[in-house]
Amino acid sequence: MSSSDVTNFFFLFQNLAPTLPIMQPSHLVTSLENLLSEKVDQMMEWSSRRSVVRMNGDKFRRFVKAPPRNYSVIVMFTALQPQRQCSVCRQANEEYQVLANSWRYSSAFSNKLFFTVVDYDEGADVFQQLNMNSAPTFMHFPAKGKPKRADTFDLQRIGFASEQLAKWIADRTDVQIRVFRPPNYSGTIALALLVSLVGGLLYLRRNNLEFIYNKTGWAMAALCVVFAMTSGQMWNHIRGPPYAHKNPQNGQVSYIHGSSQAQFVAESHIILLLNAAITMGMVLLNEAATSKGDVGKRRIICLVGLGLVVFFFSFLLSIFRSKYHGYPYR
């Protein structure tokens, strides 16, 4: 049964449904039961095919909103179409898929809980109906009654990690889901690839391994690590700050964070360059004194080195001062 068939079928059914009680009041109970079991069967069939059921406006109204239900539904309202440019939606969707798969393939899988998704481009009317103007949003529709305030997942505060979602679902529905993340082999594969690449390169050049003994290369690599760390790249990696801040009022872009507790990515790059320049200045000063060559040339190298050290250090100091208000010596 293709999806268009399903929609048509239920269009028909929905038209009939209001008339049923009037025509045959004695069959009210049985028909409701039939309706319910039919809905449950349908939902089960879909979720056995895909762990997250895609819904449009009509399906949503029929299966999620309409009353005869004995199952809870978690709905993710989102906008996954590429032209919407919602990168958060995509990340949230991945987490949601992980969670739904954990539920789908867990031993506790039952017809008490279903995971569905409504895309804005397929069910814009649902968004309007629920008065919703931001995506992604997670909502829980309980088996009985209307969703309460706590049935909307607090995305801003908790984030959308699957574990947090599972905790929220356990809180709302008493269904415990153990999140099982498919192990991520990409890192291992990349590492293996890198190792084999390096190994292959070494093997190919096995007759000329001089470059391994090249001290300059090793020194460069060591300095790269040092510069990356002292400019706070690890902080960037963990905290994920924005690249720079653009003031919405006047459109000015600031690259330096005003507080001493935080930094922008651009700022850390600037610092990295400044540190490298100062180090280079020190090295040049030493080169100028030790190398054997033309005195005039060496003088120039020496002055350039000195200039690098003094100029960039004072620059660094002024950036530091702009972050530490009241730094001037007392």
Partner 1 sequence: MKSSPNKGVLLQYWLSGALGGWGGTSDGKHKASTNAGGSVHGNSRPGAAGGGGGKVGLSGGLTQPAGWQSLLSFSILFLACLAGFSSRLFAVIRFESIIHEFDPWFNYRSTHHLTTNGFYEFLNWFDERAWYPLGRIVGGTVYPGLMVTAGLIHYVLNLLHITVHIRDVCVFLAPVFSGLTAISTFLLTRELWNQGAGLLAACFIAIVPGYISRSVAGSFDNEGIAIFALQFTYYLWVKSVKTGSVFWTIGCCLSYFYMVSAWGGYVFIINLIPLHVFVLLLMQRYSRRVYIAYSTFYIVGLVLSMQIPFVGFQPIRTSEHMAAAGVFALLQAYAFLQYLKDRLTRQEFQTLFFLGVSLAAGMVFLTVIYLTYTGLYVRLLTCYAKIHIPIIASVSEHQPTTWVSFFFDLHILVCTFPAGLWFCIKNINDERVFVALYAISAVYFAGVMVRLMLTLTPVVCMLSAVAFSSVFEHYMGDDTKREKPPEKAEEGLGPNIKSIVTMLMLMLLMMFAVHCTWVTSNAYSSPSVVLASYNHDGTRNILDDFREAYYWLRQNTDEHARVMSWWDYGYQIAGMANRTTLVDNNTWNNSHIALVGKAMSSNESAAYQIMRSLDVDYVLIIFGGVIGYSGDDINKFLWMVRIAEGEHPKDIRESDYFTPQGEFRVDKAGSPTLLNCLMYKMSYYRFGEMQVRRGALTPPGFDRTRNAEIGNKDIKFKHLEEAFTSEHWLVRIYKVKKLDNREPLDHKLRSVVPKQKYTSKKVPLMLGGEFALQVWRDSFRFS
In three-state secondary structure terms, 206 is coil
Strands (DSSP E) found in 29-136: 53-55, 72-78, 113-119
Q: Which of 109, 180, 235, 255 binds partner 1 (CB under 8 A)?
A: 235
Q: Measured between alpha carbons, how far is 101 from 111 in angstroms, rounded to an integer?
A: 15
| Interface pattern 160-189 for partner 1 (x via CB under 8 A) | ---x---x---x------------------
- DSSP H helical ranges for 130-240: 155-158, 162-173, 186-204, 215-230, 233-239
Q: Which of 225, 243, 253, 258 binds partner 1 (CB under 8 A)?
A: 225
- 100 in Cβ contact with 51 (< 8 Å): yes
Contact with partner 1 (CB under 8 A): which of 148, 239, 246, 325?
239
Q: Is 202 near partner 1 (CB under 8 A)?
A: no
Q: Left (φ > 0), alpha (ψ -120 to 50) or beta: where does 224 sit?
A: alpha
* Stretch of 101-109, 137-145, 148-156, 244-252 contacting partner 1, by CB under 8 A: 148-156
| CA quadruple 247, 253, 257, 262: dihedral sign | positive
Amino acid identity for residue 244 in this structure: A
By CB under 8 A, is residue 268 in contact with partner 1? yes
The residue from 190, 192, 194, 219 that contacts partner 1 (CB under 8 A) is 219
Q: Is 133 in the site for partner 1 (CB under 8 A)?
A: no
- What whole-number distance in Å separates Cα of residue 169 and Cα of residue 138? 10
Interaction pattern, residues 100-119, with partner 1; x per rule: CB under 8 A: --------------------
CA-based radius of gyration for the chain? 31
Q: Which of 19, 252, 261, 318 binds partner 1 (CB under 8 A)?
A: 261
Judge whether 262 and 236 are in contact, CB under 8 Å: no
- Which residue is associated with the tokens 């001493």? 260
Tokens describing residue 176? 């415990």
Q: Which of 202, 226, 253, 273 binds partner 1 (CB under 8 A)?
A: 226
Give the interface size with partner 1 as a residue count (CB under 8 A).
Answer: 64
Binding to partner 1 by residue 309, rule CB under 8 A? yes
Nearer to partner 1, 102 or 275 (CB): 275
Of 19, 131, 290, 318, the one binding partner 1 (CB under 8 A) is 290
CB of 303 to partner 1, least distance (A): 7
Do residues 262 and 223 lie in contact, with contact meaning Cβ atoms separated by under 8 Å?
A: no
Position among 107, 203, 238, 251 found at the interface with partner 1 (CB under 8 A) = 238
DSSP string, 61-123: IIIIISS---SEEEEEEE--SGGG--HHHHHHHHHHHHHHHHHHTSTT--TTEEEEEEETTT-
Query: By C-beta, is 124 or 283 nearer to partner 1?
Result: 283
Residue 203 to residue 224: CA distance in whole angstroms: 26
218 contributes a contact to partner 1 by CB under 8 A: yes
Residues that bind partner 1 (CB under 8 A): 149-150, 154, 156-157, 163, 167, 171, 215-216, 218-219, 222-223, 225-235, 237-239, 260-263, 267-268, 271, 274-276, 278-279, 282-283, 285-286, 288-290, 292, 295, 298-299, 302-303, 306, 309-310, 313, 316-317, 320, 323-324, 329-330
